[in-house]
Structure 1
Amino acid sequence: MAITELFSADDVILDAAPGSKAALLDQLAAEAAGRSGRPAPEILEALQAREKIGSTALGRGVALPHTELADLAEPVFLFARLQRAIDFDARDDEPVDLVFLALWPASNRKGLLGAMSELCGALRDPQSLRRLRGAKTPDDAAQIVLQAVAQDEEDRDPDDLPPL
């Protein structure tokens, strides 16, 4: 399932104000619980377990916390732009202010890898990151993400893709 099918302005949180990585994960788990029908503590525990493996910060102020959940009916994507950047244990030591959350059904691991690859490709563009940081509305932010994904797909060389 492509990000374009999973993500809309309803999935955007602008100007979130967590004081720490732990507070952010808690806030995202609570928001995702309402969308997924899964208990927030279960989501939070899974996100924390994933972060113990290694930080999901991608660098340049972006993080992509993600996890797989058994019996999750549909994937959940959220985007949060933070009022103030927070430490996320990024390799580049940059604090994070743009956060994408991905919850995925454990039965479809391949789908998670594809969606994350799609999103990571789109987030390589510094212009898209700058535009996300300046987005005025959830609609604007969603359009920026969806345009970046579409542009990345257009720019990909089909010869660079692995065989199916």
Structure 2
Amino acid sequence: MALSSVSFEIEFTIDNLSKSRKAALSTLGQRIGTLRPAIFAHDITRCFLAREMLGSTAIGSGVAAPHTIFEQVCPPLIHVTHLKHPVDFRAEDARPVDVLLCAVGNRHDIRWLHIALPRLARLAKLPHLAAKLRAAKSGCAVEDILASVGIYSERTMPKKAA
């Protein structure tokens, strides 16, 4: 199975409240916990914070890509969050982060990780796509933007040639 054939669940939210990196990651952990009820939200948040301790997940242009691998079997998820209040993620370019491109999945099949991280980084490096993400108002709009860099949902997965 080709890497591009991995389908992601894609979610989108706007975070109007978080004003720090810890608060943004905690809110993100809570949201993912509702989407992955077999995993405690507190554990998800703890994983995000532990990953940040290894080094910032900021990838430039006001974008960060927090990610973690779950022991539990679960479908891969990309969660895009627009932060109303940009926060300091200790980015190399010193730009505050206002877009979180979160990737999570399970350790039993990590093809999702090999797809998500380099393509999310590419998205952050393309200013017109990062601007589109900031302007997105719906999950469908976010799915279309992600599909343009090869991250597909069930809806945007290219149809196989007959």
Q: Shorter-chain-normalised TM-score: which range? A: 0.7 to 0.9
Counting only pairs closer than 5 Å after superposition, residues 1-164 of structure 1 correspond to structure 2 as 2=4, 5-8=7-10, 11-37=11-37, 38-147=39-148, 149-150=149-150
How much identity, in percent, do the aligned residues show? 28
Contact kept? 1:2, 1:115, Cα under 8 Å = no
Contact 1:4–1:146 (8 Å) recurs in 2: no
Residues 36, 76 of structure 1: 8 Å contact kept: no
Alpha-carbon RMSD: 2.2
Which whole-Å deviations, capped at 9, do the CAs of 1:46-89 have from their partners, x for residues lacking one? 11111110000001100000011112322222000111211111
1:3-27: per-residue Cα shift (whole Å, max 9, x none)? 972144xx00025331111111111
For structure 2, which runs of at least 5 residues remain unmatched after alignment? 152-162
Aligned residue type for 1:129: A
| Equivalent residues, number | 148
Counterpart code for 2:104: L
Structure 1 unmatched ranges of 5 or more: 152-164
Could you list the structure 1 runs, at least 4 aligned residues long, displaced by more than 3 angstroms after superposition: 1-4
Offset of residue 131 of structure 1: 1.6
Check conservation: 2:56, 2:90, Cα contact below 8 A. yes
| TM-score, scaled to structure 2 | 0.81
* 1:143–1:4 Cα change, 3 Å: farther
How far does the alpha carbon of each residue in 1:98-139 deviate from its partner, in whole angstroms, 9 at most, with x for none?
111111212234431332112222332111111222223333
Please give the TM-score of this superposition, normalised by the length of structure 1: 0.80
More helix per residue:
1
Q: Does the CA contact (< 8 Å) of 2:6 and 2:112 recur in 1?
A: no
